[in-house]
Every structure is written in C-alpha cells, then in structure tokens.
Amino acid sequence: MSADKNRRILRHLLCLTSLALFSLVLQAAALTPAETSLKKLLGEDTPDPIPLWPEKPPRFTEKAPPEKVNKNAQITMISVPTITPYLAPKESRTGMAIIICPGGGYGAMDWRTHVVYAAQVFNPMGVSVIGLKYRTRPPNMGKNEDIQAIALLDAKRAIRTVRHHAKDWGIDPQKVGIAGYSAGGNISMNLAANFDIGDPAAADRIERQSSRPDFAVGLAIWHWRQKTSPFVFRKDGPPVFLVHATNDGITGGAPIELPRQIKADLEKLGVPVHMAVFDEGAHGVGNLIPQRVKNGFPPAKWPELLAEWLKTLR
C-alpha cells in the first residue's frame, strides 16, 4: 500500500473520530440543567433524553419558566418534550416497547416511580420502556383541555418517533404500546381515542408514521376526579388494558366509575378490553415500587397480567 493511500486512510479515520467526538460533545451539551440534575439523581448510566422535535414543538410556550427537578426525581415546568429509551438487553428483546407516561395531574411527573421502576420490571421481560416527558401545565395556563391537547401531540409524536427508530432499537414497529399513570393514563386513553395514520407526504419522515398504539394501558386513570369518561373511542382503536383499585377516589385520586365506563364503551364497539381490579393500592395501584414487586404485592403483578392478556389477542 502506498504512503499516499495510507495518509488518506489516516486522515479519513481522524475525521470520523473527530465527528464522533463532536457528536458526543453536542449530545452532552444538549442536556439542560434539570436533565443533568435528573441524571445525577438516577445514576450516570441513565439514558440521555431525545427531543421529540428538532426545532420548537407545535404550540410551544414562549418564555416558559425553566424545567425543575426535585430530590425525589419529580419534574415540573416541562415545555420541551423528550423521550428516554430504556432498552431491554439485546439478547432477550421480544421486540415489544411500552411508552410510559408518568402521572402528576398534568402539572408534574414522578419519573423515578413511574418510568425507572417500570423499566426495572419490563426490561428483564425483554420489553423496552420509553419514558415520555410530555409537556406540563405552566403557571396561569387556561383550560384543562389546553394542556390535555398539547400532551396528546407529544404522545402522538412519541409513538411515531419510536417506530422511526424501531430497527436501531431492536423494536417491532407493530408492538409499540403506551401506558400511563393517573394523568398519564388520561394521555394513553386520549391517544387510544384520537390517533391518526400519519402523513405519507410529510417532509419529516417521523410524521409519516402512524400514531396508533398497538395497545394502551390505563393505570388509575384520572380526569380531574370526574366519574364520567370524556373519551370517544373508535372501532379500529387499539386493545385497552385497565388497572384500578376499588379504594381509589375516596380521598382524592380517581373514582373507579371512570375506567368502568371506558370498559363498557369499548365493549360496545367490540374493541378488546380487560380491567384488572384490586381492593388495595388506591391511587398508586400501578406503581412498581421495588419492595412491592419483591414482596408480591398483587397490583404490582400487572405487567405479567398484561403480557398474558396480550397473548390471548394474537
């Protein structure tokens, strides 16, 4: 091999190395102070978040207050939505992925309890967990419907984005579901009722993907403590799995009448639906707290119940 050719190869390798390092620097620099704080709280092995939109998201709030993270890994003041992929080990991946929407009344989200703990349970099952940091209510925002509609945009984009990255992440694009706790359950039901097939002509390749989840899970679904369902479902909607406690909604939380109506509405349409009801757990019925999982707390077995139920639909 000639000396000139060796030099050209060396320059090419150096260029590639420089680009890779530059990419890593940009990735690290992209973390906001709040995201950096969250990573320190959860551990340096925590995956980095990925913005849902490369530019400003639709209905962006200008001059929004900065995002905040407290010592319990609860996030508030979210104006820039992201997803964080907690991928299952390569050797055991089933291809299934669940986008998790944390709860917090559309004003906050409990990231550790709802996303991290879910990943600790689902990843060993071969299921990847994608944490969705959707936008929350900024101070003095108007109607409840406004933040509900904005969060729905984030959920749709999350489904599309996961499908766009499916091959790289070892995910089957036809096994992408969504699950949510409390207000996050509101989001998952809202998406199950209001998905679209995507825009095949969109310049943004992500927007070409369908936003229909392959299944939707509602855990202690909350709608401002109302007992009636605001969701208008469709016959072509995804299968729905509901988890609720009979002692929820007694002192706050969400009354069980809401998911019962959702179940009845879906049954009338012929959409597959299952509701797991427990007499304990209250509004935290779906929380996969490690001690609960270790001690066999009945509501903490919902991931296994979900997996078994999904098998019956094939």
For the stretch 100-124, pLDDT in tens is 999 999 999 999 999 999 999 999 9
62 shares its domain with 158: yes
For the stretch 206-264, pLDDT in tens is: 999 999 999 999 999 999 999 999 999 999 999 999 999 999 998 889 999 999 999 99
Whether 119 and 228 share a structural domain: yes
Residues 138 and 281 in one domain: yes
Label residues 72-85 b or e (16+ Cβ within 10 Å = b). ebbbbbbbbbbbbb
Residues 10 and 51 reside in one and the same domain: no
Phi-psi region of 126 (alpha: psi -120 to 50; beta: other; left: phi over 0): left
Domain residues for the domain of 22 are: 1-30
> Is residue 262 within 8 Å of 298, Cβ to Cβ?
no
Residues 232 and 278 in one domain: yes
Q: How confident is the model at residue 28 (pLDDT cuts 50, 70, 90)?
A: very low
Residue type, 105: G
Task: Look at the chain and report how many structural domains it folds into.
Answer: 2
Which pLDDT tens digit goes with each residue over 126-180?
Answer: 999 999 999 998 765 668 999 999 999 999 999 999 999 999 999 999 999 999 9
Residue 167 has φ and ψ, to the nearest 5°, of -65, -45
pLDDT value at residue 139? 60
| Residue 185: per-residue pLDDT | 98
Residues 21 and 158 in one domain: no
Q: How high is the mean pLDDT of the chain? A: 91
CB 240 within 8 Å of CB 185: no
Same domain membership, residue 204 and residue 269: yes
Same domain? 302 vs 273? yes
pLDDT at 25: 35
The per-residue pLDDT for 13 is 41
**What mean pLDDT comes out for the span 21-47?**
74
5 and 88, same domain (yes or no): no
Residues 25 and 39 in one domain: no
Kindly tell me the sign of the dihedral angle through the C-alpha atoms of 142, 82, 205, 126: negative
- Shared domain for 239 and 119, answered yes or no, is yes
